[in-house]
Amino acid sequence: MFNPITIPFGSKMLFNGVKLKPGVTVADIELALGEMCHVVKETYGNESGGFIAGQVFAFSGFISKEGSVKSVKEPDYDIAIVTYWTSFEQHEKSHADKAFKDKFNVLAEMSNDTFELGFDMLWQGIPEE
């Protein structure tokens, strides 16, 4: 559950931003988020499902002035869900499935907005030893 992940080159990355409703905290959504991630991992985490790995982040309030070019502003989301897939088609098929939708809808009820953007991998690397 908390092991390092390895992402094959050429993978597709989906970035999902979640804006929580006022008064809803990260602690309030932890169970729903965990159940949703478990369904993705266990149901679509095979060659036909296309799920490779995922990560969930809570916005910490840190904004890099050094890494921001034009504007420094807080994001309009509280949680970032980053998933890696073999293809965008497999991602979309999994998210249209009832097993996923049932779990995602619980999270959506506690959210004002969610968005999901797909990215093609252009580069990856690690420091040489």
Sketch the domain layout of the chain as residue ranges. 12-61+75-120
The pLDDT tens digits for 85-121 are 999 999 999 999 999 999 999 999 999 999 999 999 9
Q: What is the length of the chain?
A: 129
Structure tokens at 3: 């092991």
User: What type of residue sits at position 31?
Assistant: L
CB 86 within 8 A of CB 30: no
- Under CATH, which architecture does the 12-61+75-120 domain have? 2-Layer Sandwich (3.30)
Global pTM value: 0.91
Nearest to 26 by CA among 95, 104, 80: 80
Start-to-end Cα distance in the chain: 27
The pLDDT tens digits for 15-51 are 999 999 999 999 999 999 999 999 999 999 988 899 9
